[in-house]
Homo-oligomer: A and B are copies of this chain.
Amino acid sequence: MNLADRKRQLVVDELTEAALQLMAVKGFEVTTVDEIVATAGVSRRTFFRYFASKEDVLVQLLAYLGDVMRDTIASRPPAEPPAVVLRHALAEAIDDCRDSRDKALRVVQLVLVTPSLLARFLERQSQWQTMLAGALTARGVNEFRADLAAGTALAAFVTVLRRWSAPGSTDDPVALLDEAFTYLGPAL
């Protein structure tokens, strides 16, 4: 990893940490970009070189979940049934959230409770749906069914996230996902 790359990564980390800390305390809307960059020690212009919008600084934190799903699917045997492939992909993503509980939980709670963040997250999720559906059609699934299956799986995903991030929840997220797939799996 290059020096320049590490410097850029450092700026990203500083900005995301400042944003997350401020927004967790004050709330998303009332936290201004000016406050974030002041805390992080960079200029306002630099913020928008790294993030397309104020929402992006948090949504970006969950973006790697899409990569996790994609990679997981790629590693599954081609003959595996769609429902099983999807379950593994989502389980891997949720497992990653559970591992980094401290950070992921704060982000998910903030996203699910803030309308504009939820909106941007769901938009991102619809990109995941396109990706997942593409992976299924590549495995020979009918295009319409692939869209439905991907959409259904992601609906289960957010429902599990909602349960998991609910205050006072003691449920294991992967167990929740398994329960969801007990119901939904046969239909995919």
Question: A residues engaging B (CB < 8 A)?
Answer: 115-116, 118-120, 122-123, 125-126, 144-145, 147-148, 151-152, 154-156, 158-159, 162-163, 176, 179-180, 183-188
Contact B148 A156 (CB under 8 A): yes
* Of B151, B154, B162, the contact of A147 (CB 8 Å cutoff): B162
Known A126-B122, A151-B156, A156-B151: A186·B187 in contact at CB below 8 Å: yes
Q: A116-B123, A122-B122, A154-B155 are known contacts; what are 6 more A-B pairs with Cβ within 8 Å?
A: A118-B126, A119-B119, A144-B179, A148-B184, A152-B184, A185-B187
The residue of chain B having its C-beta at the shortest distance from the C-beta of A118 within the complex is B123
- What secondary structure prevails in chain A residues at the interface with B? helix
Chain B residues within 8 Å of A145, by CB: 183
23 pairs, CB–CB < 8 Å, chain A vs chain B: A115-B123, A119-B119, A119-B123, A122-B122, A122-B126, A144-B159, A144-B163, A144-B176, A144-B180, A145-B183, A147-B162, A148-B184, A151-B152, A151-B156, A151-B158, A151-B159, A152-B155, A152-B184, A154-B155, A183-B187, A186-B186, A186-B187, A187-B187
The residue of chain B having its C-beta at the shortest distance from the C-beta of A180 within the complex is B148
Assembled-state Cα–Cα distance A154/B156 (Å)? 12
Assembled-state Cα–Cα distance A144/B163 (Å)? 8
Contact A151 B144 (CB under 8 A): no
The residue of chain B having its C-beta at the shortest distance from the C-beta of A125 within the complex is B122
Chain B residues within 8 Å of A147, by CB: 159, 162
Chain B residues within 8 Å of A179, by CB: 144
